[in-house]
Amino acid sequence: MSTDPWDQRFAGPDYVYGQAPNALVAEMARHLPANAQVLLPGDGEGRNAVHLAAAGHHVLSVDRSAVGLEKARRLAAMRKLSIRTEQADLATWAWPRQSFDAVFAIFLHLPSAIRARVHAGMVDCLKPGGLLVLEAFRPEQLALSSGGPKDMDLLYSAAALRDDFSGLRRVLVQEVETVLDEGPLHQGRAALVRVVARKD
């Protein structure tokens, strides 16, 4: 049995964050061109990749968890869809330059030591005009019980994200409170930060 904590989290038969897409992904998917090339780093069990594939997009789901990626492929197969998957550590992954029309990074929480480098990789892999969408928990989430990391270093401030993505245009950084209903591990009131931006 794998000792990776994400393999262990995804090991059961249930989809721990549900099978439906994240609400921001579903909303922002309407802004994609037809047949878009879409990257989902840290996509876990594949709910967002499968949603985008169902809309006709070409999807690559990259995650460190082999168990999560296997469940992503299973979910796609159940819906007679095709997604590409790659097991990788995003801190050392060779980001394909200018290859994607969009990047969706949903609840991908990285330690501060590598966060900016990984976010720069996301920017590098976007084509000109490409869309970046990020949603994550912010420090206020520590007082709430709806999920997310319990380590302050893994939570994202609006200021840090503005710095990380300052090279993009039309950068919208928004702090929101919402109610999550995403499988058993994301339930209840949540403190989130969102980034929506375009690459020149």
The residue among 100, 160, 101 whose CA lies nearest residue 136 is: 160
pLDDT for residue 2: 84
Q: Are 88 and 62 in contact (CB under 8 A)?
A: yes
Q: What is the pLDDT of residues 177-195, one digit of tens each?
A: 999 999 999 999 999 999 9
Residue 41, class by beta-carbon neighbours within 10 Å (0-12 exposed, 13-18 middle, 19+ buried)? buried
CA atoms within 13 A on the CB side of 139: 6
Q: What is the pLDDT of residues 23-41, one digit of tens each?
A: 999 999 999 999 999 999 9
The percentage of residues in the chain with a pLDDT greater than 70, rounded to a whole number, is 100
pLDDT for residue 118: 98
pLDDT for residue 178: 97
pLDDT for residue 1: 64
Q: Domain locations in the chain?
A: 5-198
pLDDT for residue 170: 85
Q: What is the pLDDT of residues 46-86, one digit of tens each?
A: 999 999 999 999 999 999 999 999 999 999 999 999 999 99
Q: Is pLDDT at 141 greater than 80 in this prediction?
A: yes
Give the whole-angstrom CA distance, residue 183 versus residue 113: 30
Specify the CATH class of 5-198 in words.
alpha beta
